[in-house]
């Protein structure tokens, strides 16, 4: 059947065309394939003999079904099952021997937005068992990852990215998945929107959503429309321009309306915001200021008085916003009018904000400095725009949704996801200066009907004490990151509030989000209807990799490539991966190789593409030649010590040097008890009963008043190690 309009390659970008063999038979396995995709794929193949492969009873788009019934169209049906495998393999092999190109047509699938593929892992595995050469094809539809500030893409606008032909031993699921992820990264990376500057994206977001969306300051429940926030930031930007000629400006503020205005103002002034970690020690703060070459700092009087332990710069270097803003009413009104009447491009020109940012530095964040001097992570405009697109495309939030912003702005998750994302995507933002005051936050969630809640497992524990189930009734998604989500916390939260906690993963160097669990989609029909169903959540994993990110796994010690399904060092590649540490080529070279970022975490990918984090390499101990994961030991200890219902962290495991076996495990606990020697013996027997290997059992127990944690909620590994080493006399 002919389409309603002639099908051309006009709206199609083709990458890897040289990978398409001109002869010989092979199977094309696409990530997804719609009707227009199929017609254009036929054009790309240029008259080659094509045989379509379809699962018997598969639910196909009506136009696809009609196309298969057309004249001169060959199709082959199969039924997956152990008894049919050999017959299926013979049929596929015979077709390939004739030199035909076999194209697999995926069934219509129930999936969350922007899936990596619409073919379930078990189906892929079955198809690959034919053993014939396979040509991976990633089909990226522009509309799947488009931001609301972009023009609307037509259904037919797409990118075809062909991988290298897989043959012989490379025809297996792990290799195919790795190839598909790399093709996704290539297809996503050529998007011209990634060249947009963060400042210009914010201008467009504020203009598009200005009168519809708002920011709530949780300290006094005041509400400001986006356009009012924008006008205030534009007025403040003029002050920032006058006050400093340096390229970076420090911001020392908690989450809230003030922190948002200051960050936007710095960007509108053509500067780079540096949100400083006010919970860090003096040496770390001094190092960040020195590395960033910062001479002006945006903050507030009340915060200066509250944070008296902070090594504040001289008063002449501070820009105190609550002293300035009341005097700027005329300027704010002027900018409100200009921001309304001027088109985005003209407003950007007036402000001196470039439309393009690309690989220029947009934001500077500092790591916690757990291993020496804090590292400056210079995120580019491309990094941040990419991560907003990736995160936003998977969440599928609407303009009526509200996001909770209470994570520190010096934390990359708090910065990207609760500053830039809601402005660009047009979500209401409800802010509060600290994630620790859970009762107040719960009141805000209930009052302003927050739908997206971001937290860490440590902060989630607080909600289990004294927060009513009804307070969180509006929550659609509760996403957690920064540290491993204990099953006990997830189960307790779901039991109390009826909300499943969805674990994600990311690092400052990936801007930060890289993986995310989502609610599973509703099936499109029953098991007999022929539709596919793509799971989006798997307990214990950190979810699927976000669109446009590639993953590879290497041996943690030798660095040799291993299968995605085998545990090893996780590497990422993508537009959201940073370009390097600030003025630190040595540490940059340690983690970046040909665009691939070594995360420092050990993990694997399963048959359906879910990533499992098995621990940070620094949280493994090599004991008598065996790699022992601290987090796995901690999970077993929680059960053995009856701590499943505890709402705060009570234990931590660290490694210290040991003469006999290289390293030994030390258990830190804030639990009261009797003689430590007797308790560690009792605990040893309990762990042995649970099947724990003797090498994995802590050698010593140390009592502490509290387990040290960072402001982000992560375990403070450095402080824990200091305690353990001091106790061991090291």
Same domain, 173 and 234: no
Is the pLDDT at 520 greater than 80? The verdict is yes
Q: 730 pLDDT band (50/70/90 cuts)?
A: low
Mean pLDDT of 175-183: 97
Same domain, 227 and 349: yes
Same domain, 127 and 58: yes
Residue 462 maps to a domain:
no
DSSP for 382-401, written as a single string: HHHHHHHHHHHHHH---TT-
Q: How far is CA 535 from the centre of its chain?
A: 18
- The two structure tokens encoding residue 529: 């209807």
Q: What percent of the chain has pLDDT over 90?
A: 59
Q: Of 139-153, 192-206, 245-259, 670-684, where does mean pLDDT reach its minimum?
A: 670-684
Backbone torsions φ then ψ of 230, nearest 5 degrees: -65, -45
pLDDT for the residue 144? 92
Same domain, 279 and 344: yes
pTM score of the predicted model: 0.88
pLDDT for the residue 489? 84
250-264: buried (b, 16+ CB within 10 Å) or exposed (e) per residue? bbbbbbbbbbbbbbb
Same domain, 336 and 248: yes
Same domain, 206 and 177: no
Tens digits of per-residue pLDDT, 347-369?
999 999 999 999 999 999 998 65
For residue 397, the tally of other CB atoms under 10 A from its CB is: 21
Give the domain CATH number at 208: 3.40.50.12780
DSSP for 441-504, written as a single string: HHHHHHHHT--EEEE-HHHHHHHTTT--GGGGTT-SEEEE-SS---HHHHHHHHHHHS--EEEE
Tens digits of per-residue pLDDT, 143-154?
999 999 998 887
Mean pLDDT of 541-554: 96
Residue 537 maps to a domain:
no
Same domain, 268 and 349: yes
Residue 398 maps to a domain:
no
Q: What percent of the chain has pLDDT over 70?
A: 95
Q: 1 pLDDT band (50/70/90 cuts)?
A: very low
Is the pLDDT at 208 greater than 90? The verdict is yes
Of the three residues 354, 380, 406, the one that is the final residue of a domain is 380
The answer to whether 177 touches 550, Cβ cutoff 8 Å, is: no
- The two structure tokens encoding residue 689: 């009963």
| Range list of β-strands (E), 129-240 | 134-141, 158-162, 214-217, 222-225
Is the pLDDT at 627 greater than 50? The verdict is yes
Task: Output 85 or 69, whichever has higher pLDDT.
Answer: 69
pLDDT for the residue 675? 54
Counting the structural domains of the chain, the total is 3
Tell the burial category of 149 from Cβ atoms under 10 Å away from its Cβ (0-12, 13-18, 19+).
buried
Mean pLDDT of 435-447: 93
pLDDT for the residue 91? 78
- The two structure tokens encoding residue 110: 């129930």
Residue 495 maps to a domain:
no
The answer to whether 236 touches 244, Cβ cutoff 8 Å, is: no
Of the three residues 361, 380, 399, the one that is the final residue of a domain is 380
pLDDT for the residue 674? 59
Of the three residues 329, 348, 380, the one that is the final residue of a domain is 380
How far is Cα 597 from Cα 337, in angstroms, rounded to an integer?
A: 45
Strand-pair category, 532-533 with 544-545: unpaired
| Domain containing residue 79 | 12-190
pLDDT for the residue 3? 40
Same domain, 100 and 204: no
Residue 685 maps to a domain:
yes
Give the domain CATH number at 706: 3.30.300.30
Same domain, 227 and 144: no
Mean pLDDT score of the chain? 89
Same domain, 236 and 178: no
Residue 85 maps to a domain:
yes
Residue 500 maps to a domain:
no
Residue 446 maps to a domain:
no
pLDDT for the residue 4? 46
Same domain, 135 and 263: no
Same domain, 40 and 170: yes
285-304: buried (b, 16+ CB within 10 Å) or exposed (e) per residue? bebbbebbebbbbbbbeebb
Tens digits of per-residue pLDDT, 229-276?
999 999 999 999 999 999 999 999 999 999 999 999 999 999 999 999
């Amino acid at each position: 059947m002919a389409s309603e309009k002639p099908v051309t390659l006009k709206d199609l970008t083709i990458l890897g065309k040289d990978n398409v063999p001109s002869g010989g038979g092979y199977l094309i396995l696409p990530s997804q394939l719609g009707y227009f995709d199929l017609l254009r794929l036929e054009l790309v193949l240029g008259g080659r003999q094509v045989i379509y492969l379809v699962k018997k009873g598969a639910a196909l788009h009506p136009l696809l079904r009609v196309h298969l019934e057309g004249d001169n169209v060959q199709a082959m049906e199969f039924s997956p099952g152990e008894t049919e495998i050999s017959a299926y393999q013979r049929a596929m092999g015979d077709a390939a021997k004739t030199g035909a190109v076999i194209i697999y047509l995926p069934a219509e699938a129930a999936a969350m937005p922007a899936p990596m593929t619409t073919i379930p892992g078990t189906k892929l595995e079955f198809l690959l068992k034919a053993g014939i050469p396979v040509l991976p094809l990633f089909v990226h539809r522009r509309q799947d990852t488009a931001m609301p500030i972009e023009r609307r893409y037509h259904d037919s606008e797409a990118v075809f990215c062909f991988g290298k032909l897989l043959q012989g031993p490379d025809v297996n699921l792990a290799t195919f998945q790795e190839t598909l992820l790399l093709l996704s990264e290539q297809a996503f990376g050529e998007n011209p929107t990634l060249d947009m500057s963060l400042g210009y994206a914010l201008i467009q977001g504020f203009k598009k959503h200005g009168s519809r969306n708002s920011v709530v300051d949780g300290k006094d429940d005041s509400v400001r429309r986006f356009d009012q926030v924008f006008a205030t930031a534009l007025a403040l930007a003029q002050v920032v321009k006058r006050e400093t000629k340096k390229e970076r400006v420090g911001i020392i503020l908690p989450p809230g309306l003030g922190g948002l205005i200051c960050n936007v103002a710095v960007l509108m002034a053509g500067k780079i915001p540096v949100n400083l970690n006010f919970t860090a020690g003096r040496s770390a703060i001094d190092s960040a200021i020195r590395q960033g070459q910062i001479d002006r700092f945006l903050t507030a009087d009340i915060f200066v008085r509250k944070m008296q332990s902070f090594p504040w710069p001289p008063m002449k270097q501070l820009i105190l916003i609550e002293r300035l803003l009341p005097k700027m009413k005329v300027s704010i009104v002027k900018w409100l009018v200009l921001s309304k009447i001027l088109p985005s491009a003209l407003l950007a020109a007036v402000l001196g904000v470039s439309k393009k940012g690309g690989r220029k530095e947009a934001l500077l964040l500092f790591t916690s400095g757990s291993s020496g001097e804090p590292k400056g992570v210079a995120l580019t405009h491309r990094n941040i725009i990419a991560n907003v697109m990736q995160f936003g495309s998977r969440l599928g939030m609407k303009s009526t949704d509200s996001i909770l912003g209470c994570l520190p702005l010096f934390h990359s998750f708090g910065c990207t996801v609760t500053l830039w994302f809601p402005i660009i995507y047009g979500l209401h933002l409800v802010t509060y200066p600290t994630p620790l005051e859970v009762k107040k936050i719960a009141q805000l969630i209930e009052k302003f009907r927050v739908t997206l809640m971001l937290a860490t497992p440590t902060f989630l524990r607080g909600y289990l004490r004294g927060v009513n189930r009804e307070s969180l009734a509006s929550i659609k998604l509760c996403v957690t990151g920064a540290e491993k989500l204990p099953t006990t916390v997830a189960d307790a939260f779901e039991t109390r509030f009826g909300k499943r906690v969805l674990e994600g993963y990311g690092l400052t160097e990936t801007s930060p989000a890289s993986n995310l669990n989502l609610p599973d989609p509703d099936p499109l029909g029953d098991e007999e209807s022929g539709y596919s169903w793509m799971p989006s959540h798997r307990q214990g994993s950190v979810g699927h990799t976000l669109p446009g990110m590639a993953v590879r796994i290497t041996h943690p010690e030798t660095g040799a490539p291993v299968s995605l399904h085998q545990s090893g060092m996780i590497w990422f590649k993508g537009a959201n991966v940073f370009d390097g540490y600030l003025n630190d080529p040595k540490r940059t070279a340690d983690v970046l190789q040909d665009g691939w970022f070594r995360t420092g975490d050990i993990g694997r990918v399963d048959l359906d593409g879910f990533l499992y984090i098995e621990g940070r390499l620094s949280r493994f101990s090599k004991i008598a030649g065996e790699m022992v994961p601290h987090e796995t030991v901690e999970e077993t200890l929680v059960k053995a010590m009856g701590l499943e219902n505890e709402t705060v962290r009570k234990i931590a495991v660290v490694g210290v040097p040991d003469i006999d076996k290289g390293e030994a495990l030390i258990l830190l606990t804030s639990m009261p008890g009797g003689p430590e020697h007797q308790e560690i013996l009792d605990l040893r027997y309990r762990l042995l009963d649970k099947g724990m290997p003797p090498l994995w059992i802590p050698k010593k127990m140390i009592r502490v008043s509290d387990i040290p944690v960072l402001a982000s909620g992560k375990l403070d590994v450095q402080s824990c190690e200091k305690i353990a080493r001091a106790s061991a006399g090291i």
